[in-house]
């Protein structure tokens, strides 16, 4: 395991032997936050990467009594045009993989509404709801192969806010695995902006598998640049990168 001191200018990088151990580390971080601050506000992600972390949090709830009753959550993003009952909507994903299996109050769980009639107005309201909740205490992120965080694709501004975005071709192709075909993947999404994400008090980026190694290397080692949105995390004072050996395999650290 590598761990860097946050007081230095080196990033805090934790490398675990495999994806399961990395997921367990992240779940423990979340559990610590919930135990020390029962009314915490968590930022959550979808995708393949966090599923094991959510499974471990469910286990902690069921076997150890981890209590979500006062927790509030905000997800990063949602596809435009997919309602909560659509099996590929992120609301559906979150219910399936976490929310339906813990004692969280559904009214405290937030995702952007992909069916909102006024999408831009809804995006502004979402920002306002985060502010009213007191801001995000701990934000979980994954990383796209092209360096996206949430649906902030290459070119997104470092101070971008929650808004409607076009998905990159590569993202549509990668996410097609969850749909019957690439044609069915929505082309637009609502996403928290990079500026929104950078306002979280603490951030944990989880990346697993050698397929993410180059995206992780660029995020950590190349200068912060809009071509690789995850590199903007370098400007945040409290980010922990939790990697398995595959995802860490290109780091010079």
Q: Give the residue numbers marked as catalytic.
A: 77, 146, 148, 153
Q: Does 218 sit near ligand F6R (CB under 6 A)?
A: no
3-state SS, residue 222: coil
Within positions 26 to 55, which residues make up the interface with ligand F6R, using CB under 6 A? 45-49
* 148: contact with ligand F6R by CB under 6 A: yes
Of 14 and 76, CB closest to ligand F6R: 76
Nearer to ligand F6R, 70 or 179 (CB): 179
Q: Which residue, 138 or 143, is less far from ligand F6R as judged by CB?
A: 143
Site for ligand F6R contains 136 (CB under 6 A): no
User: Token pair of 80, please?
Assistant: 């435009």
Q: What's the rounded Cα separation, in Å, for the pair 161 and 156?
A: 10
Size of the site for ligand F6R (CB under 6 A): 14
What distance in Å separates the CA atoms of residue 190 and residue 92, rounded to the nearest whole number? 15
Q: Shortest distance, CB of residue 39 to ligand F6R, whole angstroms? A: 24
* Shortest reach from residue 13's CB to ligand F6R, in Å: 18
Rg of the chain, C-alpha, whole Å: 17
Which H or E run contains 215?
Answer: helix 213-221
Question: Is the separation of the CB atoms in 234 and 11 below 8 Å?
Answer: yes
- CA 141/CA 157 separation, integer angstroms: 17
Residues that bind ligand F6R (CB under 6 A): 45-49, 76-77, 142-144, 148-151
């Amino acid at each position: 395991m590598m761990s860097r001191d946050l007081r230095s200018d080196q990033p805090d990088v934790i490398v675990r032997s495999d994806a399961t151990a990395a997921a367990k580390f992240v779940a423990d971080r979340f559990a610590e936050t919930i135990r020390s601050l029962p009314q915490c506000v968590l930022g959550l992600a979808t995708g393949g990467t966090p599923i094991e972390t959510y499974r471990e949090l469910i286990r902690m709830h069921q076997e150890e009594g981890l209590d979500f009753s006062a927790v509030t959550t905000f997800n990063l993003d949602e596809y435009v045009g997919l309602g909560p009952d659509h099996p590929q909507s992120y609301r559906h994903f979150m219910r399936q993989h976490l929310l339906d299996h813990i004692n969280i109050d559904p009214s405290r769980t937030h995702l952007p509404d992909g069916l909102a009639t006024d999408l831009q107005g809804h995006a502004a309201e979402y920002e306002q709801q985060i502010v009213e909740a007191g801001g995000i205490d701990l934000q979980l992120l994954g990383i796209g192969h092209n360096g996206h965080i949430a649906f902030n694709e290459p070119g997104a501004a470092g101070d971008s806010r929650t808004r409607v975005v076009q998905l990159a071709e590569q993202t549509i192709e990668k996410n097609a695995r969850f749909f019957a075909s690439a044609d069915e993947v929505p082309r637009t999404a609502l996403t928290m902006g990079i500026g929104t994400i950078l306002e979280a008090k603490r951030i944990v980026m989880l990346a697993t598998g050698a397929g993410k190694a180059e995206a992780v290397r660029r995020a950590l080692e190349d200068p912060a640049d809009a071509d690789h949105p995850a590199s903007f995390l370098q400007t945040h004072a409290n980010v922990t990168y939790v990697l398995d050996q595959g995802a860490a395999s290109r780091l010079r650290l």
